[in-house]
């Protein structure tokens, strides 16, 4: 049986690794008969510390499984403690109940001045663990994906990791769920490849949109037309492609409005590309530059004109027998003329 501490305080913007740690801890603390640790959850907004700790201080039977008392918190005020609350916590850690751990999961960073943090921080690390769970940087996220896949008995190619992360963003829970699907999809293969990521049905829409958007942001009109034709030939409905294009140009128009209002470019980018985190420096710099390289070539009037043309095409497709392909191809060539030559962005810092 693994050794557990009497207390854990996990706080920060990304608690998924802490939750995964708890899942593993429950298994490691299983009894000799294989019974995992018992988890009881509390919301500190509705249950007092005294009630939680009174429950935790009940000594379990000798053969009972380990108990984890998990307290969920998400407001800074919940990290404030009055003197009676501090006292019951000190009493608990002064003489921890056997086979019992108190786990605090706090969504967001707890200021060091808060009483809850100060109390945990002054306790010996032999009995408590205090850890801030920060969002992963780009290389850290790739490493986490590799580690997660290894738990499933697989490996994953670097370009498959890149496509997965770029499409999903930094939602670790979602990435974890998709990795399980990919592991099953890969079957007997030891390595999950980029083709596997693209082949899983849930990813088809996202990849189609990514591929088309990538070409448009690069100013590669000819490539965008080829992708459009391929998608139409592959059975993608014209209305779906219209949605991709409308979303792309609306994001540009939002950016143009933001620049006109004098807003910071990083804030604008965070709104239109929330899945691309600034901590992923290489990918962030690349996408940041690509987005603004296009935006800086288009005025608000030009963007409004393009969106109006797209709406007119949508009406034609829905109300007449007009074929979608030539209309959309002409629209993309019009966009190409509006931005001029293909865009080249430097890989340097933004």
For the record, the structure tokens of 189 come out as 């293969």
In the predicted model, residues of the chain with pLDDT beneath 70 are 1-2, 60-63, 201-209, 341-350
Which residues neighbour 217 within 8 Å (Cβ) at sequence distance 6 or greater? 287, 290, 291, 293, 294, 343
CATH number, position 48 = 3.40.50.300
pLDDT at residue 9, as a whole number: 97
pLDDT value of position 311: 92
- Give the pLDDT of residue 232: 85
Q: Does residue 237 lie in a domain region?
A: yes
Provide the CATH number for the domain around residue 186: 1.10.8.60
Helix (H) or strand (E) holding 144: helix 138-151
CA gyration radius, the chain: 26
Q: How many domains does the chain have?
A: 3
Domain that holds residue 142: 138-199
Residues 86 and 104 in one domain: yes
Domain match, 183 and 265 both: no
- What pLDDT sits at residue 149? 93
Rounded Cα distance, 56 and 81, in Å: 19
Q: Which of 199, 221, 246 is at the close of a domain? A: 199
The reply to whether 46 and 121 lie within a common domain is: yes
- pLDDT score at 327: 94
Of 199, 229, 244, the residue that ends a domain is: 199
- Residue 198 CA to residue 176 CA, distance in Å, equals 16
Burial class of 7 by CB neighbour count within 10 A (0 to 12, 13 to 18, 19+): buried
Q: Are residues 144 and 213 in the same domain?
A: no
Distance (Å, whole) CA 71 – CA 78: 11
Tell me the pLDDT of the chain averaged across its residues.
86
Q: Do 100 and 152 belong to one domain? A: no
Q: Which residue has the tokens 């804030």?
A: 267
Q: Is residue 1 part of a domain?
A: no
d(CA 246, CA 216): 12
207 and 302 both lie in a single domain: yes
Strands 155-156 and 67-73: unpaired
Specify the pLDDT at position 345: 43
**Residue 331 and residue 207 share a domain:** yes
Other C-beta atoms closer than 10 Å to the C-beta of 90 total: 12
What is the rounded CA–CA span in Å between residue 254 and residue 251?
5
pLDDT for the residue 346 = 41
User: Residue 261 has what pLDDT?
Assistant: 94
The pair of structure tokens assigned to 45 is 């907004």
């Amino acid at each position: 049986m693994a050794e557990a501490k009497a207390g854990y305080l996990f706080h920060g913007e990304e608690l998924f690794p802490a939750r995964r740690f708890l899942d593993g801890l429950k298994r490691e603390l299983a009894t000799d008969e294989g019974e995992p640790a018992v988890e009881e959850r509390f919301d500190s907004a509705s249950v007092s510390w005294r009630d939680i700790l009174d429950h935790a201080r009940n000594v379990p039977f000798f053969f009972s499984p380990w108990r984890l008392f998990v307290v969920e918190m998400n407001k800074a005020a919940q990290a404030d403690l009055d003197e009676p609350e501090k006292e019951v916590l000190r009493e608990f850690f002064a003489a921890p109940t056997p086979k019992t751990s108190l786990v605090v999961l706090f969504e967001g960073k707890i200021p060091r001045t808060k009483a809850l943090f100060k109390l945990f921080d002054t306790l010996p690390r032999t009995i408590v663990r205090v850890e801030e769970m920060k969002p992963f940087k780009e290389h850290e996220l790739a490493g986490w994906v590799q580690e997660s896949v290894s738990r499933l008995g697989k490996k994953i190619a670097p370009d498959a990791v890149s496509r997965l992360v770029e499409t999903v963003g930094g939602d670790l829970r979602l990435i974890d769920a998709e990795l399980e699907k990919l592991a099953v999809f890969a079957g007997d293969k030891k390595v999950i490849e980029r083709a596997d990521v693209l082949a899983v049905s849930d990813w088809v829409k996202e990849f189609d949109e990514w591929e088309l958007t990538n070409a448009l942001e690069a100013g590669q009109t000819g490539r965008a037309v080829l992708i459009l034709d391929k998608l139409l030939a592959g059975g993608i409905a014209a209305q779906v492609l219209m949605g991709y294009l409308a979303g792309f140009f609306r994001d540009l128009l939002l950016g143009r409005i933001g620049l006109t209002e004098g807003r910071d470019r990083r804030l604008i980018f965070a709104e239109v590309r929330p899945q691309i985190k600034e901590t992923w420096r290489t990918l962030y710099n690349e996408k940041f530059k690509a987005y603004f390289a296009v935006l800086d070539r288009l005025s608000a009037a030009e963007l409004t004109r393009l969106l109006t043309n797209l709406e007119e095409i949508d009406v034609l497709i829905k109300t007449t027998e007009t074929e979608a392909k030539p209309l959309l191809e002409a629209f993309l060539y019009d966009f190409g003329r509006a931005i001029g030559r293909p865009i080249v962005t430097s890989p340097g810092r933004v």
